Structure 1
C-alpha cells in the first residue's frame, strides 16, 4: 500500500526547467519526479503482480554548452508498506541507478562554387550546351558534441557529371566509377571540431538541360561513430546544382543552361 516511486534526475546536460510529467509531480527543488497515490490513485493499493507506467519528459541543453561528453543519471527509489505474516506493517524500500549518455549530432552542409572556392575552375557561366564547365563541390561538417571516429561523407554523381579527381581539404577523397559515388574519408573528428573537404566535377550540358539548373550531386550523407555514446551518427545535406549562391556577384541567371 501507499507505493511511491521517486526518480531523481542529475547531470549537466539536463534543462531542468523543461521537465514535465502527466501522472507524477516534479519537485524542482531537488530535480525529482514523484509518483504516488496523490498523483495516481492506483498506487494506493498494489496487488501481487501489478504493474503500471509513470512517464516524464525533459529536454537537454544545447551540445555546445558542454566542455566534456554529457551524461544523465536517474536515481530511482521505490517505497511502500506491506502487511507481513504476523499482520505487522513492514516498510519496503528498493533503489536503482541508471545512466544515459547524450549522443552528439553533426551539421553537414554542401555547396557548389565556380568563381570562388579552394579549387580553380573553368568554362562558361552560365553553363552552355556542348561546352564544359567545372564546379567545386564543398562539404562542411561540424561536430556539436563528443568525438567521432571513422567519419565519412558520400554522394552519387548524375550520369552526365564527371569527377575530375581534383580535391582538397581534410582527409582524402575516393571515387567509385561503377556506382558514381564520391566518398570523403574524414577520419576522426574531435569534440566541437569542424572539417571541410572539396572536390571538382565537370558538366557538359545537353540540349535537354537547356533553361534548367542541373543537379551536380545527389543528397550528401554523413556517417560516423560517437565514441562516447557508442552509437552511429548520421546527417544529410541537400543536393547541389549549378546554382552557385556562394560565389561573389552571383545572380540567378547564372544557374540555367543556355
Structure 2
C-alpha cells in the first residue's frame, strides 16, 4: 500500500493562518526586530557591576593592610641566640632580639620568659619589670630591640633544656592582641662538677677500709646545694665519716656551697661483713638540689675493692632471712648463727656478740621465755665466748657449728619498739702464730613488728540488755524460720592498715537478709559465691575499733533436729600493714546456733522437732 502525501497547497494555507496579522497582512519574515530592555533589567545589571567594584576594592584593602602595611604574616619577629652546647653550672649568655617589620608601630609590647627547671637567671639587661616579665610599651615602625640575660643551668646531666620568650602586642589601628614565641634549646652533656673516689684495692672482712671522695667545682660560678650520695655494696657497714652524713637512713652529704676551683673532700670509713668476698663496687653520685629538693644528677665516680675471703666465716639469719623480716605480736623471732674456720690455721680468742637495738625503746622480746642458745645476755646483747663454747677458745681448721636462738615477741604492743635491728659481731685475737686482733661485723637484720590487728565474730539473738534482735522460735524449730544477727569487730592500735577485709561463706541452707550496718567500710553479699565481705580500704590508728553486722535466716528441717545449726563457715581476716608492708592474716571459727556469748539464749541452740 502507498502512503498518501498531504498536498503542498494545504500546508501553505495552514502556515498563512498562523502568521497573518489582524489586518490580514503578512509580516516580513526575512528580518527580525530587537525590542528594548525593561528598566528593571537595566537596574539589576547596574547593581551587579557596582557591587563587583566594591568587593574588589575591599579585597584590595585587605591585602594592602596585611601585606602592604605589615609586609608579612606577622609584623614582629623574635630570635634567641646563645651557646647551644653547655655544661651544667656554667654561666651562659642569651640574646633575645625582637624586630617590628611593619610600617606602623605596635603597642602594649610585653615579653614573658618561661625558664626551664633549674635555670638560675643571674643578670638581665634591661632589667625585667617584674620577675621574668618585661613591659616595653610601644615599639615604633621598622625598629627593633633586645634583652641580654645570663644565668646557669642547674640541670640534670644529660638533658635537653628549652627556654621560651612569649611576646604579646597590639598593632596600630587595631585592638586585637597578637602573640609571637621565640624558642631556644640547649644540650647539656656535662657538668662543671667533677668527682673522684679512691680506696684500698684489697681488703679483708672486718678490717676498716677508708675511702676518699673529692668533688671539684671546675666552673667560674659558686655552686650551692650540692648533694653527694654513696652507693655501697651489701655487707659494707659505715663506721664513721668526715663530715658526718646528713641523713641517718641514707649515706649522703649535703654541701652548702663549693666555690669556683675548690674541692669538697669526704672521708668514709667502714668494714666489710664476713659474708662479703670478691670484687665490690662503691659509687659516689653527685647531684644539685633545687629549692624544693628535687635531685638533679650531675656526675659519678666509682672505685673497686677486692675483698679477700677471711678465715672466719659466719652468717646471721632471722626467720629464714638475712634481710628485713616482719613478725606478729605473740610470735617469735627464730635466729640462727652458722660459723666456720675456712682457713688452714687455728683461730684463737673468738667471741660472738649479738646486739639488738630498739632505737632507745624497750625491745619487744619476752626474755624470760627466750632460748639464748647457750649465750650470756647483758642488757640487749648476747655473748658467746670460750666460756659458753669451748671451741671458741681455739677453733681448729674446718671446725664449724650452728647456734640457734628463739626470741618470743611480747603480746602487748604498749611502750615497745615496733622495729629493731640485730647485728652480729665476731672478734678474734690470733690466727695461727700471728697476733691478728680484728672485729668482723655481719650485715644487720631489721625486724619489724606487725600491727596488733585483732578480729572477733559472734552470732546473737539478744542484745546484752536482753532486747531481741532475732526473730522466730528459740530454740530454732524444724519447719519454722528463725533469724540471727552476725557481728564482726576489729581492733587495731599500732600501725595504720589498708585493705582490711573480712570474708565468710554462708552455708547453702542459710538465707541472706539484706539488713546490714558498719562503722566504716561496706558489707556486701554475692548471691553466686554466697560470700559475705566486709571491706575497709583504710583503717588509721585513730580508729581503735570498728564494728559491723548482718542478719541471716534459717529454716531447719527434721533432719537438723537434735544438733546445732551452722550459721557461717570460718571467717578469714586479711590486711596490709602500712609501716612494715607485710600482710596480716587471721582466721575465725565457724558460727552456729549455740550462741555461747549470748547469755539470754543459753541452752537454746539445738534445733527442736
Regarding TM over 0.5, the answer is yes
Q: Is the 8 A contact 2:500 2:576 kept in 1?
A: yes
Residue of structure 2 in register with 1:201 after alignment: 552
Q: Distance in 1 between matches of 2:372 and 2:596?
A: 46
Superposition TM-score, scaled by structure 1 size? 0.86
Residue of structure 2 in register with 1:161 after alignment: 510
Q: Structure 1's 136 and 50: CA in aligned 2 closer, same or farther, altered over 3 A?
A: same
Residue of structure 2 in register with 1:91 after alignment: 437
- State which of 81, 89, 96 in structure 1 corresponds to 2:429: 81
Deviation at 1:3, TM superposition (A): 1.0
- State which of 576, 579, 588 in structure 2 corresponds to 1:228: 579
Residue of structure 2 in register with 1:189 after alignment: 539
Superposition TM-score, scaled by structure 2 size? 0.39
Q: Distance in 1 between matches of 2:421 and 2:369?
A: 16
Q: Distance in 2 between matches of 1:126 and 1:18?
A: 46
Structure with higher Rg: it is 2
Q: Note if 1:9 corresponds to 2:342.
A: no
Deviation at 1:120, TM superposition (A): 4.8
Q: Note if 1:111 corresponds to 2:458.
A: yes
What are the within-5 Å matches in structure 2 for residues 29-48 of structure 1? Answer: 30-47=379-396
Structure 2 gaps, min length 5: 1-347
Q: Is the 8 A contact 2:489 2:548 kept in 1?
A: yes
Q: Distance in 1 between matches of 2:406 and 2:460?
A: 44
- State which of 44, 66, 70 in structure 1 corresponds to 2:418: 70
Deviation at 1:15, TM superposition (A): 3.5
Q: Note if 1:177 corresponds to 2:527.
A: yes
SS at match of 1:52: strand
State the structure with bigger RCO (CA 8 A, min sep 6), 1 or 2.
Answer: 1
Residue of structure 2 in register with 1:54 after alignment: 403
The Cα RMSD (Å) is: 2.6
Q: Is the 8 A contact 1:16 1:31 kept in 2?
A: no
Q: Distance in 1 between matches of 2:606 and 2:355?
A: 57
Deviation at 1:50, TM superposition (A): 4.7
SS at match of 2:391: helix
Deviation at 1:233, TM superposition (A): 0.9
Q: Is the 8 A contact 1:23 1:35 kept in 2?
A: yes
Deviations 1:100-149 (A, max 9, x none): 11123432221111233899542222222222221110111222632221
Q: Which runs of 4+ in 1 moved over 6 A?
A: none
Count of matched residue positions in the alignment of Structure 1 and Structure 2? 253
Q: Is the 8 A contact 2:564 2:605 kept in 1?
A: no
